A and B are shown apart, each in its own frame.
Chain A
C-alpha cells in the first residue's frame, strides 16, 4: 500500500517534470525536416549567415538531427579572412551565442547554393549520385520548416549575385511537392525585404507562411558590431531566435506565439502571416511540431514466439592463429663498408 503510494506519487512527479503536450500524438506527422537557406554571399552580408545559423542552432537544439536538416550557406563567414574571431559567427554584439557552434554540417555551400539546386532539392529531381545528406527524403508524414534569408524584392529572392527565384517558381515547386506527397505541413519563413511577396503565389494546402516584412517595406538589420564592422543580424530573426531560445523540446509554446514574435515597434517592418492555406489553428499547434523533432512512439505489447532455430552445423571458418613477429630491421650495412 505504502509502496503503491510512493510509486504513484513519483509517477505524478515524473509527468510533471516532462510535460509533453497532450495532443502530441494527434499531430499527424511522423518526422520533421528543415531546409535552411542563406542566399547571399560576401562579407557585408554577414548578417544573413548569422540569421540562418541562428535558426539552425535552434532546430538542432530542439532535436532535429543533422541528417534531417538541409543547410545551404552561400558564403563561409566563419573562415573569412576579415573575421576578427575566426571559426565563430556571432549574432549579438555581446557575443552571447556563437551560432557557428561546434558542429555545423553545411550541405550546400558557396556556389552550390543556386536556384537550380534549391528547386531540385525541393522537388527531389537530383542526380542519382547525390549523397543522402543533400537530399530531402520526406514523405507524406513530414513536417518541413523552410527558412530563407537574403536580399529580395517584390516577387523574387536573389540567389548569389547572378540569379533569383521568383515567387511563382517557388509556388510551383511547392505544388510539385504536394502532388508528390512530399510533405504533411510546411512552415515557411522568409526574412528579406518585401518578404511577403514571396508567399503570395502559393496555392498548395497545408502551408503556413511567415514573412519579416510586407510588400513595400524593407526588412532591417538589428545592430552593428564595430569589431566585425558589419551588421550582424536581422531584426526579425533576432527576435525569433530570442523566442526560440526559451523553447524546450518539452515546452508547450504554440505557433500563435511564434507568429507574434516581432511586433512593429521592434521590427520596424510588419511581420506578414498567411494562414489561409494552413488547416489547423496555430493557437493549438505546438512550436515543436516544426522546430523540434519528437517522434511519436508506441509501446510494444506482445512478443512473437520465436523457436530456437535448429543449431546450424555450420562450422565457422576459424582463422588460423598466426604468430606475428618483428621483421628484422634494416640490414646492418656497416660490415660491407
Chain B
C-alpha cells in the first residue's frame, strides 16, 4: 500500500511514510536498492548482451601464418641415382649435374651414385633386359635413375618407367639437356609460378595457356557430328570406344583428378564456313581446302550445340566431325599454304583450354562408288582417331610433347599407358600450380578480411582457412623431403580447401552499411531508457557517500 503511494505521489508519500514508519532512511534504502537493481540489469546484463548480439561474428584467423606464406619457397627435392660403369664417370657426372641444377629455384637435386659391373651391362641387349636391371633399383614417385650401358644404339634412351639409359660415349651436356628439357622442366615450372604470382610481369607461355587450369574434376565430352545423316551413315560404337580406349588412359591419371567421360551424337550441324574447292588428280578430281586461319571460326558454332555447359566441372571437348562425300576430302592448309599431312584420312586441331576437333574424311573409294540417294556408310579408323585424341588430351592436360633432341629417344608407349616420368612431370606442374594458387587465394582472402571489418567469418570458413594454411605448409614440407606423391595430394587438397574458403557465399558484406549506422539505429532506441538509469547512479553514489559520512 505504502509503496504504491510512494510511486505515485513521491513527495506526499514520503511525508506520510515518515510519519508511519518514523524512519526516513528505511524508504530511501529500498529506493536505492531499486535503482541499483535497474542499473545492474541494464549496465551489467543489457549492455553486454546488446554488444554480444550485434557484434559481427568473426573467427580469429592465423593472419601471421598467411603473411608468412610469401616467404614459403616451394622446393622439390628430387633424388637422382646415377649408375655408371666406373667410379670416375659417376663422380664427374654427379659433379656436372649438381652444378647445372645448383641455381634452379624450384628444385633441390640430390644425387647418389653406384658403380655397376660392366659384365652385367654387357649381357643386357634388349630394352627389356635393361628394364630388368633398372628394376633392381627401387624408385619412388618423382625419382630418376640414370643408367649407363655399353650397348645402346641411341645416345640417350628415356625409358617408360623412371629410367634414363645412356651409353658410355654420351656427354654430360646432353644428359643435362634431357633432364632439364624433358623431365625437370625447371624453367617452365618457374614461369608457371611467376605468371601466377606476378601476372603483370610474366605472361603465360604456350604450354601454360594450353593446359586446363587445375581442378579436382573434369568432364571429357566426346561428340560425334554427322552433318548430313541422309547421305552419310557412320558406324561407330562410341560407348565401347570410350570404355576400351579413353577410360583406361584416364585411369592412369586418377591420382590427378576425377574424370568422367560422356559421349553424344549430333546431327545436322554443318561447318560454318565454306571450304574452297581445289581441283586435283585424285579419282574424285578435287579436294576441299580449309585454311588454318578460319579454324578459330569453326569452334564457336560447334560450342553452341555441344551442351558442354550442363555440368559444373570444366569440360574437355572432343569433337569428331564426319565429312560428307559431297564436301570430301577436306584438308587443312597451314598459314604458309601447305597441306601438311597427306597420309591419313584424319585432320585435326586443338584449341587451348577447350578441346580438340578431328575431321574424318570418308575413304575416296566409298565416295566414288556412292549411288545417288543412298547413304554412304563409313567406319572410322578407330586407332587413328583415338590416337589423335589421346595426343590432344595429353597436351590439354599438360603433358608437353618432348622437344626434339638429337640422338635422344623415348621408348614407345606400351598400349594406352603413360610413361611414369610423364606422370611425374604432370604431378610437379600441378603441385606448383595448386600450391601457388592456394597461397595467393589465402593471402587475398586475408587481406580482404582484414580490410573490411564487417564481413562475417563463420566457423566453417575459419576452419577452411586454417586447414588450407596447414595443408600448404605440410605439402611444401613433404616436397622438401622429396615425397612428391604425398606433396601433390596435400597440395590438391589445399587448393580445393582454399578455393572453397574464398568462394564461400557467406563472405559478403554490403559496404554501404557502415559501422556508424549501427549507432544511428540503436542510440534513439536506448538513450531515453538509459538517461534515468545514469542519473540514478548519481543518487546511489550520494546515498552511500552520505551514509559513510553519517557513520563517521
Name A's B-contacting residues (CB within 8 A).
Answer: 3, 6-8, 10-15, 17-20, 24, 28, 30-31, 63-67, 115-116, 119-120, 123-128, 132-133, 135, 137, 139-141, 164, 166, 168-169, 172, 176, 179-181, 205-206, 249-250, 279, 293-309, 312
When the two chains form their complex, are residues A10 and B392 in contact, meaning their CB atoms are under 8 A apart? no
When the two chains form their complex, are residues B352 and A296 in contact, meaning their CB atoms are under 8 A apart? yes
Name B's A-contacting residues (CB within 8 A).
Answer: 195-196, 199-200, 203-204, 209-210, 213, 244-245, 248, 273, 276, 278-281, 289, 291-297, 299-300, 303-304, 308-312, 314, 332-335, 337, 340, 344, 346, 348-354, 356, 382-384, 386-388, 390-392, 394-395, 401, 412-416, 437, 440-441, 444, 447-448, 502-505, 507-508, 510-512
CA distance A304 to B394 in the complex (A): 10
- Which of B308, B349, B384, B441 contacts A303 (CB under 8 A)? B384
Residues on the B chain within 8 Å of A15, using CB: 291, 293, 335, 337
When the two chains form their complex, are residues A295 and B209 in contact, meaning their CB atoms are under 8 A apart? no
Chain B residue with minimal CB distance to A298? B350
When the two chains form their complex, are residues A67 and B309 in contact, meaning their CB atoms are under 8 A apart? yes
Residues on the B chain within 8 Å of A13, using CB: 276
CA distance A8 to B333 in the complex (A): 10
Give the shortest distance, in Å, between B261 (CB) and chain A (any CB).
15
A-B contact pairs, 19 of them (CB 8 A): A6-B278, A7-B278, A10-B276, A11-B291, A14-B276, A15-B335, A63-B297, A65-B300, A66-B304, A128-B505, A249-B297, A295-B299, A295-B300, A297-B292, A299-B348, A301-B340, A304-B390, A306-B390, A307-B415
When the two chains form their complex, are residues B507 and A125 in contact, meaning their CB atoms are under 8 A apart? yes
What does DSSP make chain A's interface, helix, strand, loop or mixed?
A: loop
CA distance A30 to B209 in the complex (A): 7
Q: From known contacts A125-B507, A140-B204, A300-B392, infer whether A308 and B383 are also in contact, taking CB-CB under 8 Å.
A: yes
Q: From known contacts A18-B297, A116-B508, infer whether A132 and B311 are also in contact, taking CB-CB under 8 Å.
A: yes
Give the shortest distance, in Å, between A327 (CB) and chain B (any CB).
33
Chain A residue with minimal CB distance to B356? A300
Residues on the B chain within 8 Å of A301, using CB: 340
Residues on the A chain within 8 Å of B353, using CB: 30-31, 139, 141
CA distance A308 to B508 in the complex (A): 54
Residues on the A chain within 8 Å of B335, using CB: 15
CA distance A169 to B308 in the complex (A): 33
CA distance A182 to B431 in the complex (A): 20
Give the shortest distance, in Å, between B306 (CB) and chain A (any CB).
9
Chain A residue with minimal CB distance to B417? A307
When the two chains form their complex, are residues A124 and B503 in contact, meaning their CB atoms are under 8 A apart? yes
- Which of B279, B395, B413 contacts A6 (CB under 8 A)? B279
When the two chains form their complex, are residues B503 and A298 in contact, meaning their CB atoms are under 8 A apart? no
When the two chains form their complex, are residues B349 and A297 in contact, meaning their CB atoms are under 8 A apart? yes
Chain A residue with minimal CB distance to B244? A309
CA distance A18 to B295 in the complex (A): 10
Q: From known contacts A13-B276, A65-B300, A176-B448, infer whether A295 and B354 are also in contact, taking CB-CB under 8 Å.
A: yes
Give the shortest distance, in Å, between B206 (CB) and chain A (any CB).
8
When the two chains form their complex, are residues B289 and A14 in contact, meaning their CB atoms are under 8 A apart? yes
CA distance A133 to B196 in the complex (A): 27
- Which of A132, A302, A308 contacts B309 (CB under 8 A)? A132
Chain B residue with minimal CB distance to A308? B383
Give the shortest distance, in Å, between B199 (CB) and chain A (any CB).
6
CA distance A18 to B275 in the complex (A): 11
Residues on the B chain within 8 Å of A304, using CB: 387-388, 390-391, 394, 413
Residues on the A chain within 8 Å of B388, using CB: 300, 303-304
Chain A residue with minimal CB distance to B389? A304
- Which of A66, A135, A296, A300 contacts B296 (CB under 8 A)? A296
When the two chains form their complex, are residues A120 and B278 in contact, meaning their CB atoms are under 8 A apart? no
Give the shortest distance, in Å, between B318 (CB) and chain A (any CB).
11
Residues on the A chain within 8 Å of B297, using CB: 18, 63, 249-250, 294
Chain A residue with minimal CB distance to B334? A299
When the two chains form their complex, are residues A11 and B300 in contact, meaning their CB atoms are under 8 A apart? no
Give the shortest distance, in Å, between B211 (CB) and chain A (any CB).
10
Chain A residue with minimal CB distance to B452? A172
Residues on the A chain within 8 Å of B308, using CB: 67
When the two chains form their complex, are residues A302 and B502 in contact, meaning their CB atoms are under 8 A apart? no
CA distance A288 to B99 in the complex (A): 48
CA distance A139 to B204 in the complex (A): 12
Give the shortest distance, in Å, between B313 (CB) and chain A (any CB).
9
When the two chains form their complex, are residues A14 and B291 in contact, meaning their CB atoms are under 8 A apart? yes
- Which of B304, B333, B441, B448 contacts A14 (CB under 8 A)? B333
When the two chains form their complex, are residues A28 and B204 in contact, meaning their CB atoms are under 8 A apart? yes
Chain A residue with minimal CB distance to B302? A65
Give 6 A-B pairs besides A3-B279, A140-B204, A181-B437 with Cβ atoms closer than 8 angstroms: A14-B291, A63-B297, A125-B504, A181-B196, A303-B388, A309-B415
When the two chains form their complex, are residues B352 and A18 in contact, meaning their CB atoms are under 8 A apart? no
Give the shortest distance, in Å, between A238 (CB) and chain B (any CB).
27
When the two chains form their complex, are residues B505 and A205 in contact, meaning their CB atoms are under 8 A apart? no
Residues on the B chain within 8 Å of A3, using CB: 279-281
